[in-house]
Amino acid sequence: MTWRVLIAEVKQETSTFNPMPTFYDEFRIYTGEAIFSAYRGTKTELSGAFDVLDEDGRIELVPTVAADCVSGGPIATPDLDRVLGEIEASVREQSNIDAAYLCLHGAMAGADEGDPEGRLLQNVRAILGDIPLVASLDLHCVLTDRMVEHADILVPYHTYPHTDHYETGQRAARNLLQLLNGEASPTIARVKLPMLVRGDELLTATGRFGEAIRMCQEVETSETGLAAGVIIGNAFTDVPALQSNVLVTTNGDAAAAQQ
C-alpha cells in the first residue's frame, strides 16, 4: 500500500502597523521537487515531516508550493490572492491524494483578509474533501475558528525562542500517520483567553508559560494525547481573532481534552 501525501507551506508573520505593504515578489517560493532540495536536511518543519514520512516506507510525498516571507506589513490584496491561488491551483492539479500536511505560521494578514491561513485551509479542504489534513503552526499564530474547523489536527510549536521547528514537523507527521492508519479520531478542546501577552520574558524554558507548555507535552505523551499547545497570538497582527488560546486534541477522548 502506498499513500500519497500532499505537502504545502505558506508563512509570514505580519505586522499590520507596518505602513509598507508586502508584495508577491518578496516571497521565496519553491514548487514541486525543488521543495525537497530546499528543505531536506534542514532544521525545519518540512524536513522533520519528510523524515518521519520517509521512514514509514508507505508514503509518496506530493510537493506543491512552499512560499515564505520575512516579517512585514500587510500583504497587498492581489499579491495575497496570487500566493494563495498558486497553492490552491497546485493542489487542484494533483490526483488520488490520501492526506495533506500544511506547514503554516498562522499570523499572516492581508490588507483585506484577516485570516489567510483559515481561508487556505478551507479551500484546500474543499478541493481534497474528507481526507486527513494536519497543519503545523507557530505558537504566535492567530488561531481562528476557520483554522480549527478545517484541519483535523493543529500542531503548534512548544518553544520560545523557537528551537523546535524540526520536532514540530515530526509531531505533525506522526499525527498524520495515525490518521492514515485509522488509529486516531481527533477530539478537540479549545479555551479562548481574552488576553494578549508578548515579550522576551515569555520564555518556554522558565516561568508559568513554561509550566503550561510542559502540561501540554504531558498531554501529548499521554495514552490518548495527539497535540496540545498554548497559542499566545502575535500582538502585531491586529485582526479580530487576536487573543490567546489553549488547544488540546485527544484521540477519541473529549472529556480528557476538555479537562
pLDDT on residue 199: 72
User: What are 3's strand-pairing partners?
Assistant: 59
Q: Is the pLDDT reported for residue 111 higher than 80? A: yes
Tell me the backbone φ, ψ of residue 2, rounded to 5 degrees: -125, 130
Cell of 218: 504531558
Q: For residue 74, what is the DSSP state? A: P
Rounded to whole angstroms, what are the CA distances from 230 to 7, 29, 52, 81, 225?
A: 25, 30, 24, 30, 15
pTM above 0.95, yes or no: yes
pLDDT digits (tens, 9 = 90+) for 165-200: 999 999 999 999 999 999 999 999 999 999 998 877
Q: Is 94 exposed, middle or buried (0-12, 13-18, 19+ CB in 10 A)?
A: middle
Contacts of 182 (CB under 8 A, 6+ apart): none
pLDDT on residue 107: 98
For the beta sheet containing 225-231, the strands, ordered from the edge strand earlier in sequence to the opposite edge, are 186-193, 244-251, 225-231
pLDDT on residue 202: 86
pLDDT digits (tens, 9 = 90+) for 214-229: 999 999 999 999 999 9
